[in-house]
Amino acid sequence: MTADAVNKPLLETVLGRRQERLPIWIMRQAGRYLPEYREVRARAGTFLDLCYTPELAAEVTLQPLRRFDLDAAILFSDILVIPDALGQSVRFEAGEGPILEPVTVETIPGLDPSRALEKLSPVIETVRRVRTSLASDKTLIGFCGSPWTVATYMIGGRGSPDQAAARLFALRQPAAFARLIDILVEASIAYLGAQFRAGADVVQLFESWALNLDEVAFRDWVIEPNRRIVEGLRQAIPDAPVIGFPRGAAGNLPAYAARTGVNLLGLDYATPLAFAGNLPPGIGVQGNLDPLRLLAGGEQMEVRTRAIVAAFRDRPHIFNLGHGILPETPIAHVERLIEVARGAL
């Protein structure tokens, strides 16, 4: 963490100190809705080539801050660079998303977390480059996918609406699944620690598939691995600031917030605003506008934005979407969103 952290409003919010000026960033703020991103993406080759080319990845990380009054840059990368670094075959197909060669009981022991950081060194170089180019009042957010979410892709071979392949694997092969989670926890701690040492101010754990789990599975496969990452990371980076984003956690949110040790909790757009009253006192929140409201724009977006800001006046709050910005989103809508959110405080 950097010495001038006190000058970063978004980081201060993560650390539990509410700011007079509402901090804002947008999930997937570096992406296809920006023409400058599309130009760089076309030059990069494959999506993974973009993630592993520090010059280009740093450029797209910084692009949103040149356009918008945002308080943070988030590292441009992907949650599936860890499986790639562990030796699993990962590729991205246009129109299909990520495709992986599914792991099996037999192949899991061959995944080697000790070599992952070597493969991920270009991503760490991206963090360094962004840090040197970022204004002193801007927070640099690093991230990784949380173990359960990453495991669903590694086992299923692609995204799915119900994560059935991973859920069945965990139930039928508990020892092998536990080993996979151990590998992902170890690799994630090392990866996030390297991001901090390269200049990240805070990291976010993306638990993108926290839905579709009963409370026992959520405890074992979401809360416990995330808790272990936070604990292990802070052994290497004392007091490391962490945002947890367990999308779809619903009624499991209070337990996640209380047990994982994260500093601030990301809320998806399906979380009722009043539900924040069930969270541990004082924990900050992030979110949680529906990306489709931003896409549609107009009065409905403005009304909902003001309602979100008003609902979280009594605790540290970072304004954000409740999931990633959609590629079709007009730039003018983003500009108006930031204007309205700033004026609503």
Tell me which of 78, 84, 201, 290 is the catalytic residue. Answer: 78
Where do the structural domains in the chain lie, given as residue ranges? 5-344
Q: Is 32 a catalytic residue?
A: yes
- Summarised one tens digit per residue, pLDDT across range 94-106 is 778 899 999 999 9
Tell me which of 28, 228, 247, 315 is the catalytic residue. Answer: 28
Residue whose C-alpha is closest to residue 286's, from 100, 18, 105, 2: 18
> In angstroms, rounded to a whole number, what is the distance separating the alpha carbons of residues 176 and 164?
16
Residue-wise over 90-109: b if at least 16 C-beta within 10 A, else e? bebeeeeebebebbeeeebe
Burial tier of 284 (Cβ tally within 10 Å: 0-12, 13-18, 19+)? buried
Q: Is 41 a catalytic residue?
A: yes
The order of strands in the sheet holding 242-246 is 72-74, 139-145, 202-207, 242-246, 264-266, 284-289, 317-321
- Topology (CATH) of 5-344: TIM Barrel (3.20.20)
Predicted local confidence at residue 97, as pLDDT: 87
Tell me which of 33, 37, 153, 191 is the catalytic residue. Answer: 153
- Summarised one tens digit per residue, pLDDT across range 298-314 is 999 999 999 999 999 99
- Summarised one tens digit per residue, pLDDT across range 152-201 is 999 999 999 999 999 999 999 999 999 999 999 999 999 999 999 999 99
| C-beta of residue 304 within 8 angstroms of C-beta of residue 293 | yes
* Global pTM value: 0.96
- Summarised one tens digit per residue, pLDDT across range 257-279 is 999 999 999 999 999 999 999 99
Tell me which of 18, 32, 306, 336 is the catalytic residue. Answer: 32
What are the two backbone dihedrals, phi and then psi, of residue 327, each rounded to the nearest 5 degrees?
A: -60, -25
pLDDT at 203 over 60: yes
Ordered alpha helix ranges (H), 248-326 = 253-260, 291-296, 299-311
Q: What is the largest CA-CA distance in the chain?
A: 56
Predicted local confidence at residue 3, as pLDDT: 43
Q: Is 167 a catalytic residue?
A: no
Kindly compute the dihedral angle of the four CA atoms of residues 147, 149, 155, 160, in this order, to the nearest 10 degrees: 180
Tell me which of 33, 37, 41, 304 is the catalytic residue. Answer: 41
DSSP-based three-state secondary structure for 313: coil
